[in-house]
Structure 1
Amino acid sequence: MTRLPDFEAWAVFATVAEGLSFSRAADDLGLSKATVSKAVARLEARLGARLFHRTSRRLALTEAGRAAREDAANLLAAGEAAEARALDANGAPRGRVRLAAPMSFGVAHVAPVLPDFLAAFPQVSVDLHLSDAQVDLVGGGFDLGLRIAALADSSLRVRRLCGVRRSLVATPGYLDRHGRPEHPDDLRRHSCLGYAYLPTPDRWHFADASGAAASVVPEGPLRANNADALAPALRAGLGLAVQPDFTIWDDLRAGRLERVMPDWQPPPIALNLVMPPGLPRPARVSALISYLERAFSAVPWAQEVEPVGSPASLRHATSS
């Protein structure tokens, strides 16, 4: 008789592999650490291969573990989706939605809008994963991702929520001391604060209204992989930085920061909802999509966006 796959062990392995922590997986699954360890050991015995390298301080996937990780995540996601569809047929949206978002944006703008959603849908929970690094939505088992970028084509689906203006900014004090640049070439004489996760962090690109383009290699005392980490140096007048409006909106209105070179703009970007391919989506995911569309449709820093459902608002996106 053919043995059924050990679906529980695969689901436990997928959760451990995602966070590389037995303790975290036990907390997420509501199981004891011993139960999680036994499930992984059971799967390793069945496969005849070790899935993790274990030391007292570190857990890492083996080659076999890396090969099995995406399949495990897909199995877990398929099981959760099947259960959600059955639950959806019997009432209100319920279950967990796994949402990935950039760190600074997630803390400042996503987390504050979630309480109203959770109050409106008390049977839905949100697992919010914050990171400025690119996240593999499919491999990580995420239902949705928020991305702030100009997205290229891929198999993922994206809905553009709003445009995001980026500007070169500095404090009035810095500009009074060092002058106000008028052209990107002028930045060679200025202190520049860099963001490591720009598409080209070692070169800043600008364009004017006529379409003329210019770029510069920024040099300065600080580069960070999180926009909030640049804020203290920027506000202290240590240099200029290219920042999205959602990060600097309050500082601009209060006069603590000033837009520089308004005739030269960095390439346009947008706030996008990115989703793995495949339909239909569970009701809990559709509910959060609709809620986020409404929440970010009228924020003060948003730029105009095409109507939802237009060809430009529904297209393919990067697998980030």
Structure 2
Amino acid sequence: MKKVKSETDRKYYFLINSLEIGGAERVVINQANELIKKGFQVYVFTLKSACLYDLPKGVVHIPLSTISDNFCLFFALPRFIYRFQSLRKKYGLDDGISFLEISNFIHILARREAKISFRTHINFFTGFFGWLQKLFIKILYPRAAKIIVNSRENRHDLAAYLGISEQKIEVVYNSIDEEKIMLLSREALEDELQKKIRNKRVYITVGRLIKEKHHEIIMDALSCLKNKNWIWLIVGDGPERSFLETKAQEYGLEDSIFFLGQQKNIFKYVAKSDFFLYASSVEGFPNVLLEARFLGIPIITTDFKSGAREVILGEDTNMIGKVLRYPYKGRHGYLLDANHYGVQFLEIVKLIGK
């Protein structure tokens, strides 16, 4: 008699561009950790070899290449499809999911039953490379067996773009490891930084330093504050760092703005902050906002597409698709109009005092 596989015999795989710092990467780590606890054998396939996270014990990490440039990844699709198909067959893997666009393209082209996760918004893709990705999304995503998104707003907009029913898209909100976040949040700050933030209002922003995040808008707003008794912690790195550092010097804010770069433990900084600032023009459903919300840090964010309203107002909000009057106060902070962030930020500072 053929033995029926128990849950502890099951295997699960993730396919993602890399395990560098990012929201989708943290979701993979969190989900892998939960599956390991349930006795699953977990495999993580990455297109790039970089890994900046401590993988849960028992997770098998399999890089598919040594390529480091995202644009080059796109042109290696045939190679990735062949390697992924071969390795999936070798390890006997039937159940899994992919994250991020290039990995999703590979997954769909490699198997008919592909389950993919779309964690940004279609408006995020700009320029030639963005146009190319949108073209592939339009052609390939309707072929996926299942599309999972992380906000109701994203489901609505993606279904309209693909010309498919919303019923074909499932909403699964990002998971966060609450126990781990609480543990890491208790870690002490570096002595020098602790001294600098003492008796000051601490603002924080976590995320890649790229144009779409609009850190410069936050800096413009902070520079207008009459009371200079504040500190802004910027956690993350990226191509805009040099520009932002120069801008901070031009404003004479070198002693108030601290560029902390990439950090494995972002939570010790978030937990010591008074407000989480975010000015992104387009997103998926940022983990950093969920994590800040969990730690009880009020959030001041643009009303970006998609997910901002569900973070600030609650996942059960009925305000999706409705016109808001900004700044809009919600359960977990404030929503601002991206085109008037500075003015509305100053309004909020007056409201909260100090």
Please report the TM-score for the alignment, with normalisation by the length of structure 1.
0.28
Higher relative contact order (CA 8 A, sep 6+): 1
User: Which protein shows a greater Rg?
Assistant: 1
Q: Which has the higher strand share?
A: 1
